Structure 1
Amino acid sequence: MTRDVVRPRRRGGASASGFLRLVAHADPVALVGITLSITLSVVLDLTGAASGVESLLAGLMGITISLLVDSLARAERRFHLRMLLDGPPWLAHTATEVAASMREATEQHAGTRVAVEAQRRYEQFRLEAEQFAQGRIIRRGDEDEDLLGATRACVHRLDALTNVMPRASGELSWWRSEIGRRYWEANVEALRRGVRVTRVFVYATLTEELSDLVGRQRAAGARVGLLPFGAVGTHLLVNLTLWDSSSCWEARMTAHGEIGENQFSVNRADVERLTRVFDACASMATFEDPTPTP
């Protein structure tokens, strides 16, 4: 009885795969340089412009230079990556983990909803990171931590502009909501600390409810002004808050007149823009009820 000799199978597929992986990760400049070097060597040999040895040496020299350029490019990228991660410790510790997890999600689960969702969320994170770099935090309309937190941290001055317009949810519904009540409580605490609070209400109709709200805020120590709708351009009708001339909050409104998005910013351009809006409205507002003429 004889045994069949089992010969190891040649792994030509693995070699081809390794070559493709090498090509995929090589620098484009290096690939072009290697291709031109090989082409030059073949042309010199076929045309007889150089001997076989000289043609080979010319090709090897070109390939060597191309690989050297590729090595320098890789080193530059590694140096740039190290510089990017040379920041807060938590960034260096988590950036590689995030990149590895995203790569595994897209490679191990390619073609599934997991890979699609991973790419979508990573793109969303990238957009949010760009806003952070600009000094902005953007949240949903029902998230109030920035508005409350900045009011509680305010030291000297708080300026605000509130538009009170007829809408499906009611003119003063926001002030009656949980967020509105907590925001006013933070205003009262700021007034007790000595913060100067100035607020302008832009209104379409001076209702009894609005007059009562203005009276209560004035009684608490806030400087409150009234500005009738139409006194300023519509581009100035913005719901905003400014703290110590260093940070600001702006509400992005929905079609129903409700806050759909909150934007908190320490960006100097944002603060200056909203300061101009507030100053323009405050200059036209009435801050005290007119005194009757005797």
Structure 2
Amino acid sequence: MAELLRRPRTGRLGSPRGFARLLAHTDPVALFGIALSVSLSITLDLTGAATGVESLLAGLMGITISLLVDSLARAERRFHLRTLLDGPPWLARSTPQLIGAVREAAEAHAGTRVAAVAQRRYEEFRLEVEQLAAGRIIRRGDDDEDLIGATRDCHRQLLGLTNVMPRVSGELSWWRGDVGRRYWEANLAALARGVTITRIFIYAELGDELSELVQTQRRAGVRVGLLPFGAVSPHLNVNLAVWDGSGCWEAKMTAHGEISENQYSINRTDVDRLTRVFRLCADVADFGGPESGPL
């Protein structure tokens, strides 16, 4: 029995870690109120402004009020969390598991690379979700899921702006690559459904390879415009697509002219901005000429 009494407490509040956790989860206002109440009680007792019992009662009253404020704050946070989870069933089902796993990684492996990576990945996840909340999907440069998928889902109109500036990998390498071929197949399927496609090529030199690509797309039914480099402001030289005026795609480019990031968006500001960019280029582009062919 004596050994049990001498044994240090290892419960949630019996260890420094448990006490630290209690302080971390207590509202700062309540902590300040408790500290102020204790200070007031001691001051009243030492100065003789109140008897010992009165000082004690004043301190206990202040602590009670502080703990009540803390309880109300906790209840408000719990209500807020329940409100946030009052959504799709999969959200309420998976969120506790996600938070629990991140917390376990951070606490059980504190001070290790595991905890550091857990925090970093959680921050990355938070940033991605914030983008989703704004109506945007951000993907790697080699992930074309949204570009192809949105073209397949298009019903009425597709607007496209393509830069074919000379670069290390060749100015038309994208169209010859796997992504470009699959994108063109999705374009052909859209044309067969009756979708109107208008595409502008911004080019530095109208060579045979680009002329052949333009002719191929025009013969397939795409309305193609040509825009020489320098005809518009450099900030308009972007790669974009706009579907039915409700969704858009923009490619973020590297210094070598290769796609580093794909951004799909249904955010109204993004759609309007890219539509405006396309219209400004269309006002200057040449949709006729000897290479126009049948439309």
Give the TM-score band, short-chain normalised.
over 0.9
The CA distance in 1 between the partners of 2:23 and 2:204, in whole Å, is 67
Q: Which moved more, 1:181-190 or 1:49-58?
A: 49-58
- CA RMSD of superposed structures (Å): 1.5
Q: For residues 58-108 of structure 1, give each alpha carbon's deviation from its aligned partner in whole angstroms, at most 9, with x where no partner exists.
A: 111111110000000000110111111111111111111011111111222
Task: Tell me the residue number matched to 1:224.
Answer: 224
Deviation at residue 128 of structure 1 after TM alignment: 0.7
Task: Tell me the residue number matched to 2:123.
Answer: 123
Q: Which moved more, 1:21-30 or 1:244-253?
A: 21-30
Q: Please state whether the residue corresponding to 1:169 is helix, strand or coil.
A: coil
The CA distance in 2 between the partners of 1:253 and 1:24, in whole Å, is 44
Deviation at residue 134 of structure 1 after TM alignment: 1.0
* Runs of 5+ consecutive residues of structure 2 not aligned to the other structure: none
The CA distance in 2 between the partners of 1:168 and 1:290, in whole Å, is 30
Give matches, 1:171-210, under 5 Å.
171-210=171-210
Task: Tell me the residue number matched to 1:168.
Answer: 168
Give matches, 1:135-174, under 5 Å.
135-174=135-174
Task: Tell me the residue number matched to 2:26.
Answer: 26
Deviation at residue 20 of structure 1 after TM alignment: 3.9
Deviation at residue 10 of structure 1 after TM alignment: 2.4
Task: Tell me the residue number matched to 1:38.
Answer: 38
Check 1:185–1:257 CA distance in 2 against 1; reply closer, same or farther (3 A cut).
same
The CA distance in 2 between the partners of 1:46 and 1:120, in whole Å, is 51
Q: Please state whether the residue corresponding to 2:58 is helix, strand or coil.
A: helix
Task: Tell me the residue number matched to 2:4.
Answer: 8
The CA distance in 1 between the partners of 2:24 and 2:240, in whole Å, is 51
Q: For residues 246-271 of structure 1, give each alpha carbon's deviation from its aligned partner in whole angstroms, at most 9, with x where no partner exists.
A: 01000011111111110000011111
1:272 maps onto 2:268 in alignment = no
Give the paired residue count: 287
Q: For residues 192-232 of structure 1, give each alpha carbon's deviation from its aligned partner in whole angstroms, at most 9, with x where no partner exists.
A: 11111000000100001111111111111110000011100
Q: Please state whether the residue corresponding to 1:7 is helix, strand or coil.
A: helix
TM-score by length of 1: 0.94
The CA distance in 2 between the partners of 1:161 and 1:114, in whole Å, is 44
Task: Tell me the residue number matched to 2:238.
Answer: 238
Q: Which moved more, 1:22-31 or 1:36-45?
A: 22-31
**Percent identical residues:** 69
TM-score by length of 2: 0.93
Deviation at residue 178 of structure 1 after TM alignment: 0.8
